[in-house]
Amino acid sequence: MKQYYIAGNWKMHRTIAESVELAKELVAKLEGSSSKIMIAPAFTSLAAVATVLKGSNVLLGAQNMGPEEQGAHTGEISPAMLKDAGVSVVILGHSERRHSYLETDELINKKLLLALKHGLEPILCVGETLAEREGGNLESVVRTQVVEGLKGVAETELAKVIIAYEPVWAIGTGKTATPEDADAVHAYIRRVLKELYSEKSAVAMTIQYGGSVKPENAAELMAKANIDGALVGGASLKAESFVPIVNFYK
């Protein structure tokens, strides 16, 4: 069985104490899992959660990162600061960043290149809105986000990048793309990667699905050939729902 990569995006939830408690529970319950696992708490909880995760099989991720090394950038967090807090993975271009905070492909690309430069593993999020899907623009939207997001990434560096396909209409809505729909978009992303790089790199890319992933639908999504993992929002906030998703194969 391939190794699946299950990540939890905690978004703007949990105090430091609550984050530590949840992280402790996850570490205890996920020991020995064969999945690759990451959790991304809020910035304020990163350092405390890093202490809990030390020596465990759970990686620490951040939900965003500033596009600069350092300097006069009020409110931003640099890659070095994330690493200092114990972070090894960073989620970039989440649809909530794209839509609520108007992040452009250009900005996301800048962050991605900076993350790679600092040895952080970027998870590049892509996905269409309902209007874009219904307007027949799914492929062009996803293509642009992949092509522009990866601009300047050499093929040797590509292996360090993860892509997460998160259809915007499926995030936090309880609506999941059918496993067939998600698989088809993942296959399309691989076609784009093949054009940009090579068949080998396209096949090797880890592509997570995100959008209302739950214990009830995780196994059928993961059963699809082109789905290599999940980026989980709401269901990652409780061990009782995140643990069965990580261990969907059991």
- Residue 192 burial (C-beta neighbours within 10 Å; 0-12, 13-18, 19+): buried
The mark string for 196-215 relative to ligand 13P (x by CB under 6 A, - otherwise) is --------------xxxx--
Checking DSSP bridges between strand 58-62 and strand 121-126, what pairing results, if any? unpaired
Q: Examine residue 167 and tell whether it contacts ligand 13P (CB under 6 A).
A: no
Looking at 66, 93, 122, 234, which residue binds ligand 13P (CB under 6 A)?
Answer: 234
Alpha-carbon distance values, 3 to 44, 92, 165, 210 (Å): 30, 22, 18, 17
Strand stretches in the chain, DSSP E: 5-9, 36-40, 58-62, 89-92, 121-126, 162-165, 206-210, 229-232
Is the Cβ of residue 67 or residue 211 nearer to ligand 13P in the bound state? 211
Site for ligand 13P in 88-107 (CB under 6 A): 94
Is the Cβ of residue 49 or residue 171 nearer to ligand 13P in the bound state? 171
Distance of CA 17 to the CA centre of its chain: 24
Question: Per the residue annotation, which of 103, 132, 166, 186 is the catalytic one?
Answer: 166
Q: With CB under 6 A as the rule, give the number of residues binding ligand 13P.
A: 14
Q: What value does the CA radius of gyration of the chain take, rounded to a whole number of Å?
A: 17
- Residue 115 burial (C-beta neighbours within 10 Å; 0-12, 13-18, 19+): buried
The mark string for 113-132 relative to ligand 13P (x by CB under 6 A, - otherwise) is --------------------
Are the beta carbons of 92 and 77 closer than 8 angstroms?
no
Is there a catalytic annotation at residue 94?
yes
Q: Examine residue 149 and tell whether it contacts ligand 13P (CB under 6 A).
A: no
Q: Examine residue 172 and tell whether it contacts ligand 13P (CB under 6 A).
A: yes
Nearest distance from C-beta of residue 89 to ligand 13P, angstroms:
13
Question: Per the residue annotation, which of 94, 103, 121, 128 is the catalytic one?
Answer: 94
Is there a catalytic annotation at residue 186?
no
- Residue 22 burial (C-beta neighbours within 10 Å; 0-12, 13-18, 19+): buried
List contacts with ligand 13P (CB under 6 A).
Answer: 9, 94, 166, 171-172, 210-213, 231-235
- Positions annotated as catalytic residues are 94, 166
